[in-house]
Amino acid sequence: MLSEETIKKEWFPNHIAELRTYKAVTGPDILYLGWKKPETNVYGVEYLIKGTRLIVSGDIGDATYWWSGRISFESIAGMHVGYFASKCEASEYGRQFKSWQRKVLEKNVDVALRQRAEYSMELDHDDAALEAKFQELKALFEKHGGIDAISEDRDFFWHSWLAEHASKVFGDDWWEFAPDGLEIDVRCMGHLVGVKAAMEQLQEKSSE
């Protein structure tokens, strides 16, 4: 995933923040934050807060986020991306805004195999025995196609592999160990970075 600093520099280099409040007929007022480059909608984002919900729309994807208590753009700007993503109720990738990525799967397979190896060992196992079990499972994984069986960067192929081979490699309780290949999508990160950058800009203007 791109870093927050990279997203800020590459996606939002000339954006201008606009903050408004709209009076609601009932309930809390509606807070609006526009974060756009003048005369274009490229990487433009619009945010609406109504009580406990944040609605995001624009060029980097649409999503709805929900908290148990009222929120503000200031409070969102102080959040970590993991916590922010956990509040996503709806996006093109569903709740928590996670997308499947082959590179994430590749990174997590060895971790999952080591966890499965350790789970299958006695409590008093030594490191050599654990490593041997890990290598055994890794060889089994490769025997059944391994990463090369995932011919495209699509979760369909991974789920197909799991349906056919997962129990042979990860055991009958394979769902406890097999990695899902999911990572918070970069557009979710972009939603958060947009708020942070916009609020930083507004704060700087107010202090001039």
Supply the pLDDT for residue 123.
60
Q: Which residues of 9-47 are buried (b: 16+ CB within 10 A; e: fewer)?
A: eebbeebebeeeeeeeeeeeeebebbbbbeeeeebbbbb
**What total number of domains does the chain contain?**
2
Q: In the structure encoding, which two tokens stand for residue 156, read together?
A: 């369909």
Residue 26 sits in the same domain as residue 80? yes
Residue 14 sits in the same domain as residue 92? yes
- Of 54-58, 135-139, 147-151, which one has max mean pLDDT? 54-58
Distance, CA of 21 to CA of 27 (rounded, Å): 13
Type of residue found at 99: S
Range of the domain at 119: 102-180
Residue 111 sits in the same domain as residue 91? no
Q: For 167-204, how does the pLDDT look when each residue is reduced to its tens digit (9 = 90+)?
A: 888 888 888 877 777 889 999 999 999 999 999 999 99
